[in-house]
């Protein structure tokens, strides 16, 4: 299989992950307001699985390093398969809850709380399991990113329409989403060998782990998304018949594209975890909050009606994020 052994290349892959994880939700906006998120999410889940399988049968089956994808799957232990599958189930629930929280409480509360908790808990959990990198620099980087998230939240709160959406329900859902999202990556990491070139027996390589994770995400969608369709946190139930009645080729392709974009990020993050370590790889990927903010500021114009002085807050946010990401990167070689 094709693997990554260079740390600089691993950093590049982590930055691509950050771009993908911060950009996939744009496809939901493109799907249109008449296409409920629950309906879009079926296509998104399919796109995640299709990309994982495509990489597994190409990059995961070529090259002389490690085990080819099918051989890797055949030797994987039940505990490894279950761990990666459970990671997909947990992530899928957290992702659906995060979107529901954004709909209730707005970006000012839901996204900073959810993704902020996910970043902090994820880096701590992955570092405690496999301590790779300078802990002082790593956690200073995390603290800088958290500062950026808080500044971002304050900037969003200045928008006239944001404060009215804040509810206790939205905050509670955000917290649950963030906790779940902070731990899903550890389950995937636990299913994998730490050495991709000479993988441990019973453990999986990166491509097999991502496929099993994606299967967990896709199959659990029949549970989690069905519940959210029948009992949405806000609004009316969404009938399954709407998927075929209201959808068209463009809407379905846009949803699949969203899943492919996110899955590219996940695959690259797992590949980069070999030379970078799981804590650094995950931490850099969760810099996606900055990417999402860039989309919001410069493409979707979310701050057009913001009061004077908001631009300075956004500048501080971007600088803090850049500093945090730089510290996370150099913590591996310091």
Give the model confidence (pLDDT) of 285-301 as tens digits. Answer: 887 877 877 887 888 77
Q: Which has more confidence, 238 or 299?
A: 238
Q: Which has more confidence, 126 or 225?
A: 225
Single pTM value for the model: 0.90
pLDDT digits (tens, 9 = 90+) for 175-192: 899 899 999 999 999 999
Structural domain total, the chain: 1
Name which of 160-169, 218-227, 264-273 the model is least confident about: 160-169
Backbone phi and psi for residue 237, each to the nearest 5 degrees, phi listed first: -60, 150
In the predicted structure, residue 162 carries a pLDDT above the cut 60: no
pLDDT digits (tens, 9 = 90+) for 84-129: 999 999 999 999 998 788 767 666 567 677 877 888 888 888 899 8
Give the Cα separation of 258 and 51 in Å (integer): 11
pLDDT band at 145 (very low <50, low <70, confident <90, very high): confident
Nearest to 142 by CA among 126, 109, 119: 119
Give the Cα separation of 280 and 330 in Å (integer): 10
In the predicted structure, residue 32 carries a pLDDT above the cut 80: no
In the predicted structure, residue 333 carries a pLDDT above the cut 60: yes
Give the Cα separation of 102 and 173 in Å (integer): 9
Angle (CA) 257 179 218, round 5°: 35
Does the residue 298 lie in any domain? Answer: yes
pLDDT band at 325 (very low <50, low <70, confident <90, very high): confident
Does the residue 2 lie in any domain? Answer: no
Does the residue 222 lie in any domain? Answer: yes
Bridge partners for 192 per DSSP: 204
Does the residue 292 lie in any domain? Answer: yes
Contact status, residue 220 vs residue 45, Cβ threshold 8 Å: no
Does the residue 182 lie in any domain? Answer: yes
Over the chain, what is the mean pLDDT? 89
Q: Which has more confidence, 247 or 170?
A: 247
Does the residue 1 lie in any domain? Answer: no
Question: What's the confidence (pLDDT) of residue 161?
Answer: 58
Question: What's the confidence (pLDDT) of residue 105?
Answer: 66
Give the Cα separation of 105 and 119 in Å (integer): 20
Does the residue 258 lie in any domain? Answer: yes
CA dihedral 76, 77, 83, 85 (to 10 degrees): 60
In the predicted structure, residue 158 carries a pLDDT above the cut 60: yes
Does the residue 301 lie in any domain? Answer: yes
pLDDT band at 63 (very low <50, low <70, confident <90, very high): confident
What are the tokens at 14?
A: 């982590």
In the predicted structure, residue 60 carries a pLDDT above the cut 70: yes
Give the Cα separation of 328 and 317 in Å (integer): 17
Question: What's the confidence (pLDDT) of residue 319?
Answer: 93
Q: What residues make up the domain containing 101?
A: 7-330
């Amino acid at each position: 299989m094709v693997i990554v052994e260079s740390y600089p290349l691993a950093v590049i892959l982590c930055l691509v992950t950050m771009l993908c994880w911060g950009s996939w939700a744009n496809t939901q906006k493109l799907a249109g307001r008449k296409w409920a998120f629950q309906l879009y999410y079926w296509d998104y889940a399919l796109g995640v699985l299709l990309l994982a399988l495509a990489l597994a049968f190409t990059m995961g089956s070529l090259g002389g390093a490690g085990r080819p994808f099918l051989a890797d799957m055949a030797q994987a232990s039940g505990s490894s398969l279950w761990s990666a599958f459970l990671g997909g189930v947990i992530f899928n629930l957290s992702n659906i809850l995060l979107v529901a929280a954004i709909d209730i409480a707005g970006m000012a509360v839901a996204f900073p709380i959810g993704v902020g908790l996910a970043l902090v808990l994820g880096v701590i959990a992955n570092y405690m399991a496999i301590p790779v990198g300078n802990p002082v620099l790593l956690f200073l980087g995390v603290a800088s990113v958290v500062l950026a998230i808080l500044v971002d939240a304050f900037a969003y709160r200045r928008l006239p329409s944001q404060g009215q959406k804040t509810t206790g329900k939205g905050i509670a859902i955000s917290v649950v989403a963030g906790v779940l999202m902070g731990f899903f990556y550890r389950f995937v990491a636990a299913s994998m060998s730490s050495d991709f070139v000479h993988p441990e027996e019973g453990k999986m390589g990166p491509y097999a782990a991502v496929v099993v994770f994606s299967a967990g995400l896709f199959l659990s969608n029949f549970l989690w998304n069905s519940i959210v369709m029948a009992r949405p946190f806000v609004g009316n139930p969404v009938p399954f018949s709407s998927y075929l009645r209201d959808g068209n080729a463009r809407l379905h392709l846009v949803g699949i594209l969203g899943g492919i974009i996110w899955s590219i990020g996940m695959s690259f993050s797992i590949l980069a975890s070999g030379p970078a370590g799981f804590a650094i790889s995950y931490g850099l990927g969760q810099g996606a909050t900055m990417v999402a903010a860039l989309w919001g500021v410069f493409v979707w114009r979310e701050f057009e009606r913001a009061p004077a002085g908001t631009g300075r807050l956004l500048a501080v946010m971007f600088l803090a994020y850049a500093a945090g990401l730089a510290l996370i990167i150099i913590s591996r070689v310091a």
